[in-house]
Chain A
Amino acid sequence: MSVKSKLLRMKNHLQLENKNEPAADKIETPPAPKQDKMETAFKDIGFEPFYFDGERSYRKRILYPYATEQDYDLLKDMERIKQFWGAELSDHPLSFNGKEIDRLLFFDTETTGLSTGAGNVIFLIGYAKLKSEGIEVTQHLLESPSDEAAFLSGFLEDFREDDYLISYNGKSFDWPQVKSRHSFIRKELPKLPEFGHIDLLHSARRLWKHELPSCRLSIVEEKKLNIRRTNDIPGSMAPILYFDYLNDKNPYELRGVIEHNDQDVRSLVHLYKNLVMKLIWENDVPSSGMEHYYMGEWFDKLSIYEWAEKHYEHAIHKTTTPFPQVYYKLGVMYKKMGDKEKAGKYLELALKQGASPPVEAWIERSKLAEHYEKDPAKAYDYAKQGYQYIKKNGRFNEKKYTRQLADLNKRLKRLEKKQAF
């Protein structure tokens, strides 16, 4: 039996990964050009060919000139941000260290899949730069998987050691992917430069993880930047559209992905500006109480207490319902800063807010009483209150509370002994 007929017979046993069915409801697409007309077709959608070692790749550069007042504000705000990082908080994860703003690359890729292995190919690299006259978007398109060297060289040519990458999930996805593709042709291409990289997904998660159903860029755009896209094709369609293109050799089929990527990189500019301004100029871009709380927590974790305190305070002022968690955080933070008095005060405040203060607050208050105020009776009191709270509210079924209950139990026993002497 021929291999072919055996293959057909055993088709049910073969796991053919989701066959790449052509994308349904395509946008109206002109017919595929003849092979020698490919360049013309690419030019039609804005791409110019360039050559590298006999391979061909395509590049598109387009300038979105500043037109409205908001456009010019964007540029001014970015300049202000640059000044700020140059002078303050230069270690902050969002800081680009006072570099010129035209060194920032707002960067995104489209790939043939979501896996991070050797078979996942980048077919579109896009980045936006802030120029004096407008936002410039550059895109590189992989004409065929055999032209990867030309494709990546076009990108590397454009890219300097002192550039700063700003991406969305680029640290764990796009950039490792670039590195992986680069390693295939590392002998033909220059080394990948080392450079700064700011991943906005991390920041977005800190602020909005609890509020948004997911921190996908499209959702953040819609809910937080008020950008609504029309006729956008979802990013998940990108692989299929590229497979269609490879099959039909019709560049027009890629227009949707190209447009989507272009939008993405421009959105990143706005998202970056918005995030930074929320963090440092709360009057210019106001935030909700919860956002202030999470920004405070972020600064707190970075040990930038002055800024943490500011955001925590805003969180208190902007929230009308009881918010014991902020007081607790402040209490713990003051303790870390060495201000035991304020720490005690805020922990006590935390316990007075509403009906369900965090159990940790009793524990922390008890610790403070035991170790700094040297008052075992008071420490015992707080521990006891916490213990009774858990018992009374019947919350000891949850794992976290079981642990706390055990902690409190131990604490109480020790304190009993301490008081005895």
Chain B
Amino acid sequence: MFGKKTLTELIGELRNDPQVTHWHEVPEEEAKTSPMPEDMHEKIKKALNDRLINDLYTHQRSAYEHVMRGENITAVTPTASGKTLCYNLPVLQRHMINPSSRALYIFPTKALAQDQKSELNEFIDEMDVNINSYTYDGDTPANIRQVVRKAGHVVITNPDMLHSAILPHHTKWISLFENLETIVIDELHTYRGVFGSHVANVIRRLKRICRYYGSNPSFICTSATIANPEELSEELLGEPVRLINNNGAPKGRKHFVFYNPPVVHKQLNIRKNGTKVVNDLAARFLKEKIQTIVFARSRVRVEIILSHLQELVKNEINRRSIRGYRGGYLPNQRREIERNLRSGETIGVVSTNALELGVDIGQLQVCVMNGYPGSIASSWQQAGRAGRRQDESVVIMVANSSPLDQYLFQHPEYFFEGSPETARINKNNLIILVDHLKCAAYELPFNRGDTFDGEDVTEILDYLTEERVLHDTHTQWFWMNDAFPAHNISLRSAAQENVVIIDQSAVENHRVIGEMDTFSALTLLHDEAIYLHEGTQYQVEYLDWDEKKAYVREVDVEYFTDANLAVKLKVLEIDKEKQAGNHMIQYGDVMVTAMATIFKKIKLETFENIGSGPIHLPEQELHSNGIALTFAEGTFNDEREDVIEQVLMGMAHVLQHVACVHVMCDKNDLHPVPEVKAVHSQKPTVFLYDRYPGGIGLSESVYNQINHILKESLDFVWECPCEGGCPSCVGVGGTDSSLQVKKWVLKLVSQAASYD
């Protein structure tokens, strides 16, 4: 008979597990506090006292003081450090000073907005004052919207809503914009890459409208730990920002465990499948009814893990107490899962990073990550899901065979001591900028001589006039088109149009079960693809590419599908170049064409290939920025072309992974292309390009720190324990030791890297 095991017992067992390669303990920390600011209104003090809060954490007090001085601030706040008071206190104080003052709160998701509204309203009730705070999002009923516009002292929304519903209709929001004193931007670190570049432009538009109505609000931002919170906020806001990072909140003890699955194939350095290991580990805790969250990197993984876990623990707990949670689920489905987590009805969640954000789902004790989430900041965010309430908690990161994961597991100090990643945006990406200039012109005409928050945009406005989108009266540019530009521009996805997924399993009752951006749809929703949704398998019966609809039907099969994307690359113009040893590194404009070619059917249990089929979808074209690492004449002597090809593939594999770590992006954002004879140089070349039209500054950043990346790549490949190359370092193609890919890559990288 087995007794129930406690979390402490399970942690003890884990300590003895030989696969644990690193154990890091984050000690408890005492609170650092500061007395209440003297000028703070009595009603606010009283409400705090009623909650048994008699003084503030140091960072809360600093935030309050700087905001009250009229400065913009960014408070860096780990999970559960009481960040809401950093903005709620000054906003409420401003309201007590000037009752007509308004505030706008921007949260990256609707779920967060809902949470914050309840929290703020509770506090307002305790203060016993008349302050109206409302959420304004896609779910707000039409009859409430009017009230929010006219009477909302605090309006809580998300960037998408601001972009497509509030700013274009600013004439309905006059009282908000005339009296706007504070703009709160929560989870600032999520505004990076394409999304961040869009949001930075939405903020430019917001500031432009505030100026028009005569207000000059200050900004309060909060951010998780990243390397450059100050830089990111200044880029995003276009204004100087004061950084608040004297966190005074207490912390509970946290165990951070690195778990590397056992090697099952010595020569090839192949490790046991990470997904299976994750399942076993998570099941250990779930069986004891210890609330556990599992993070997987892709939607497909979420679904695979979910169904396996449900199967593994079916004897101990109800299948339904383990749920999936990811983008692509419809909002009410997600709300329900969040509720059940809080109530404890749900014990386990398998999630993509949709839950990475600070939705307060209560006391999860264990967090298991299937692979390194791709960035240090993101890892800590996910780790923060466990032990929010100052209890002991454990975080287990399970390595995949990917070079990135193995690199990290070789260098735990990089993770625990190294600085977290830098978040970048490129708000002047031409395509994004043009999109938002259209929206801005729709909102208010541009006067000649106006800038777009400091950016001279005359040339673009002239271009839009030529295209007959704007009308130039010689003193002003007016929007002159019957379209509503914000509707065609999505802040979140690279491709602007989404594919709607329609389940036609029930003849009478076709229903929409989700949506997906077009680029992902190329490889995930082609005809015959297996699409997983909440643990249920669907097969795509027909993808109507023109109408952007995928018709799926429920199936029960033993495999999933994986599609290949063929990519061709053309250099359009070289902006910068420099020598890298004998080799050459260049940065510039590229055109990429991508076509989904074939898909493979892969068996669920064993991951073996059991069949394949063609994909017939049109080629997609992409203009972007990229770098080219071109190898000098004679580098390969008389080496066979297929060998050169394998070497370049290995090289591309290494560069991509190491570069992604350093520019803080997802592997899919920075794409590699190896070419034995590149068209522009006729030489062997490895390209990396931004997978978004116009580029988002990733490859430029790679170009700027290329030497550092090359040196890191050298260390990484050198330290890989495999003999002649393995999937973890130089990729699958490099495992044929007769080709000596690993040796070649080491040689090339060391030639290119400079140690001066």
Q: Which residues of B contact A246 (CB under 8 A)?
A: 471, 480
A87 within 8 A of B: no
Q: Which residue of A lies closest to B467 (CB)?
A: A16
Known contacts A118-B442, A144-B473, A246-B471; is A4 also within 8 Å of B171 by CB? no
CB distance from B163 to the nearest CB of A (A): 12
**Closest chain B residue, CB of each to CB of A4:** B459
Q: Say yes or no: A3 contacts B478, CB within 8 Å.
A: no
Rounded to whole angstroms, the CA-CA distance of A180 and B171 in the bound complex is 6
Task: Determine if B460 and A3 form an interchain contact, defined as CB atoms under 8 angstroms apart.
Answer: yes
Contact B476 A119 (CB under 8 A): no
Question: Considering residues B170, B459, B483, B488, which has the most beta carbons from chain A within 10 angstroms of its beta carbon?
Answer: B483
Q: Is the CB of B481 within 8 A of A183?
A: no
A417 interface residue, CB < 8 Å from B? Answer: no
Question: Which residues of B sit under 8 angstroms from A2, Cβ to Cβ?
Answer: 459
Residues of chain A with a CB closer than 8 A to B621's CB? 12
**Does A113 make an interface contact (CB < 8 A)?**
yes
- Let me know if A247 is at the binding interface, CB within 8 A: yes
Q: Which residues of A contact B694 (CB under 8 A)?
A: 10, 13
B214: min CB distance to chain A, Å: 10
Q: Does A243 contact B (CB under 8 A)?
A: yes
A116→B169 contact, CB < 8 A: yes
B169 surroundings in chain A (CB, below 8 A): 116-118, 180
Closest A residue to B434 by beta carbon equals A14
Q: When the two chains form the complex, which single residue of B459, B475, B508, B623 contacts A3, counting CB atoms closer than 8 Å?
A: B459
Interface status of B168 (Cβ within 8 A of chain A): yes
Task: Given A15-B489, A20-B468, A239-B482, answer yes or no on A180-B172 (Cβ-Cβ < 8 Å).
Answer: yes
Closest Cβ of chain A to B323, distance in Å, is 28
A6 within 8 A of B: yes
A233-262 near B? 1/0 per residue, CB < 8 Å: 000000110010011000000000000000
Report if A179 contacts B (CB, 8 A): yes
Cβ of B467: which chain A residues have Cβ within 8 Å of it? 16, 19
Closest B residue, CB atoms, query A247: B468
In the bound complex, residues from chain A placing their C-beta under 8 Å from that of B572 are: 9
Contact B171 A17 (CB under 8 A): no
User: Are B481 and A113 touching (Cβ within 8 A)?
Assistant: yes
Residues of A contacting B508 with CB < 8 Å? 397
Residues of B within 8 A of A112 (CB): 480-482
Given contacts A15-B496, A20-B480, contact A9 B623 (CB under 8 A): yes
- Contact present for B478 and A113 (CB under 8 Å): no
B443 interface residue (CB < 8 Å to A): yes
The smallest beta-carbon distance between B231 and chain A, in angstroms, is 25
Within 8 A of B (CB), among A381-413: 397
Contact of A118 among B168, B473, B489, B589 (CB under 8 A): B168
Q: Which of A160-210 contact B (CB under 8 A)?
A: 179-180, 183-184
Interface residues on B, range: 35 or more
Chain A residues with Cβ below 8 Å from B481 are 17-18, 20, 112-113, 239, 243
CB pair B171 A145 closer than 8 Å: no
Q: CB of B416 within 8 A of chain A? A: no
Q: Which residues in chain A, 1-57, are within 8 Å of chain B measured between CB atoms?
A: 1-4, 6-7, 9-10, 12-20
B417 at the interface (CB under 8 A from A): no
Cβ-neighbour of A13 out of B445, B463, B623 (below 8 A): B623
* B622, closest chain A residue (CB): A13
Whether B589 contacts A1 by the Cβ 8 Å rule is yes
Interface string of B96-123 (1 = CB under 8 A from A): 0000000000000000000000000000
- In the assembled complex, A230 has its CB within 8 A of some CB on chain B: no
**In B588-617, which residues have CB < 8 Å from any A CB?**
589
B622: A residues at CB distance < 8 A: 13
A6 to B486, CA, bound (A): 22
Q: Is the CB of B484 within 8 A of A117?
A: yes
- Chain A positions 101 through 122: 1 when the CB is less than 8 Å from some CB of chain B, otherwise 0: 0000000000011111111110
Instruction: Assess whether B14 is interfacial by the CB under 8 Å rule.
Output: no
Cα–Cα distance between A199 and B589 once the two chains are bound (Å): 56
Tell me whether B161 is interfacial, beta carbon within 8 Å: no
- Interface bits A81-101 vs B (CB < 8 Å: 1, else 0): 000000000000000000000
Does B431 reach chain A (CB closer than 8 Å)? yes
Cα distance A119–B441 in the bound complex, in angstroms = 7
A53 to chain B, nearest CB (A): 15
CB nearest to A177 among chain B residues: B171
Interface residues of B in 611-658 (CB under 8 A from A): 621-623
Q: How far is the CA of A12 from the CA of B469 in the complex (A)?
A: 16
CA distance A333 to B205 in the complex (A): 55
Chain A neighbourhood of B483, CB < 8 A: 17-18, 113, 115
- Find residues 571-597 in chain B having any chain A CB closer than 8 Å to their own CB: 572-573, 575, 589
The docked-state distance in angstroms from the alpha carbon of A397 to that of B172 is: 44
- Do A115 and B484 touch (CB < 8 A)? yes
- With both chains docked as a complex, state the minimum distance between the C-beta of B251 and any C-beta of chain A, in angstroms: 46
Partner among B473, B485, B488, B496 whose Cβ is within 8 Å of the Cβ of A145:
B473
- With A1-B575, A1-B589, A17-B483 given, is the CB distance from A121 to B469 under 8 Å? no
Please, which residues of chain A bring their CB within 8 A of the CB of B473?
144-146
List B421-438 residues whose CB lies under 8 Å from chain A: 430-431, 434-435, 438
The B489-527 residues at the A interface (CB cut-off 8 A) are 489, 496, 508
Complex Cα distance A183/B168, Å?
A: 14
Q: Does B479 contact A (CB under 8 A)?
A: yes
When distances are taken between beta carbons in the complex, the residues of chain B under 8 Å from A118 are 168-171, 442-444
B residues apposed to A, CB below 8 Å: 168-172, 174, 430-431, 434-435, 438, 441-445, 459-460, 463, 467-469, 471, 473, 475-476, 478-486, 488-489, 496, 508, 572-573, 575, 589, 621-623, 693-694
Please name 15 further chain A to chain B contacts, defined as beta carbons within 8 Å, in addition to the given A7-B460, A14-B431, A112-B481, sorted by A numbering.
A7-B434, A7-B459, A12-B623, A13-B623, A15-B435, A15-B488, A19-B467, A19-B468, A20-B468, A117-B484, A118-B170, A120-B484, A121-B478, A239-B481, A239-B482
Question: What are some 9 contacts across the A-B interface (CB < 8 A)?
Answer: A7-B463, A113-B482, A116-B169, A117-B168, A117-B484, A144-B473, A183-B174, A243-B480, A246-B480
4 interchain residue pairs of minimum CB distance: A119-B442, A17-B483, A113-B482, A115-B484
Interface positions of A (Cβ within 8 A of B)? 1-4, 6-7, 9-10, 12-20, 112-121, 144-146, 179-180, 183-184, 239-240, 243, 246-247, 397
